[in-house]
Amino acid sequence: MAATPDDGTSGIPTLWTRPQRPRRDQPALSREQIVTQALALLDSDGTEALSMRKLGARLNAGATSLYTHVANKDELLALVVDQVFAELPLPRTDAPQGDPKVWRAAIEECAEGVRAVILRHPWMVSVLGDVGMVYFGPSWMRLSEAFLALLEESGLDLAQANEAMGVVIGYTIGTATVEAAWLSALAKRGLGEQEWMDQLLPAVAEATKDHPRLHRLYTTQVQREIEAGRDSAFLNGVRLILDGIEASWAARAEGGGPDGRKG
């Protein structure tokens, strides 16, 4: 049986629009305070350490009082993730429609911002795919609206812009997820990223000696400065995606069909 929202409407309840109910028998406690302390706890200890009991202790409040503001841990995580996305500036440009240099730069900056915020808060890796409501939060929706506007400036219609946004954001979150997992694993081992890479590359070179392409890749193409290499590889990937978007727009401008081919 489908759940019935608290506000009497039908469908899935939206936690950001549900009225907050104050409790007269508890000291003043706001949703913002709860989310701020939950974020601090997640940043310091990760998702496994987050519990309503522990969070209540940080707020000098009983765990039950937190449920006045959030229904469960999943709701709390969705609220915290949305607050993290609020750290991102909105991408925008006042360039004439179709000016590739400006809208491309704005999208690159946006993608780099999303990646950076995930790397600053690596616990997000474990919740982005599980907390479905996060993509209906106000911060993510503002970001998505601005992103779509940029893509429409490239010459895409709304449906095409949505598909392109999905590719860019999917690549961004996927890449950042792998990077955050890698950095978290190294941190648990007490190793720095550069230290680990300096130890690893000689072993990889030896392991790939019977595979010429892999061997050439790891001995001549992998950058020794690993963080700079990750940054440049990510941005190159975004630019490849944008090359495809721009080529598609140019083909349509020349009279091609939806797939860029002339009929």
The pLDDT value recorded for residue 221 is 72
The pLDDT value recorded for residue 102 is 79
Check whether 113 has a pLDDT greater than 90.
yes
The pLDDT value recorded for residue 229 is 82
131 in any annotated domain: no
Write out the chain in H/E/C secondary structure. Answer: CCCCCCCCCCCCCCCCCCCCCCCCCCCCCCHHHHHHHHHHHHHHHCHHHCCHHHHHHHCCCCHHHHCCCCCCHHHHHHHHHHHHHCCCCCCCCCCCCCCHHHHHHHHHHHHHHHHHHHHHCHHHHHCCCCCHHHHHCHHHHHHHHHHHHHHHHCCCCHHHHHHHHHHHHHHHHHHHHHHHHHHHHHHHCCCCHHHHHHHHHHHHHHHCCCCHHHHHHHHHHCCCCHHHHHHHHHHHHHHHHHHHHHHHHHHHHCCCCCCCCCC
Q: Stretch 120-129: mean pLDDT, rounded?
A: 85
91 in any annotated domain: no
pTM over 0.85: no
37 in any annotated domain: yes
Q: Stretch 103-119: mean pLDDT, rounded?
A: 92
78 in any annotated domain: no
Residue 6 — pLDDT band, cuts 50, 70, 90? very low
235 in any annotated domain: no
For residue 62, give the CATH number of its domain.
1.10.10.60
Q: Stretch 174-191: mean pLDDT, rounded?
A: 88
14 in any annotated domain: yes
For residue 203, give the nearest of 186, 187, 222 by alpha carbon. Answer: 222
| Number of domains present in the structure of the chain | 1
36 in any annotated domain: yes
Q: Give the percent of the chain with pLDDT over 70.
A: 80
The pLDDT value recorded for residue 162 is 93
Q: Stretch 3-12: mean pLDDT, rounded?
A: 48
The pLDDT value recorded for residue 135 is 77
Q: Give the percent of the chain with pLDDT over 90.
A: 31
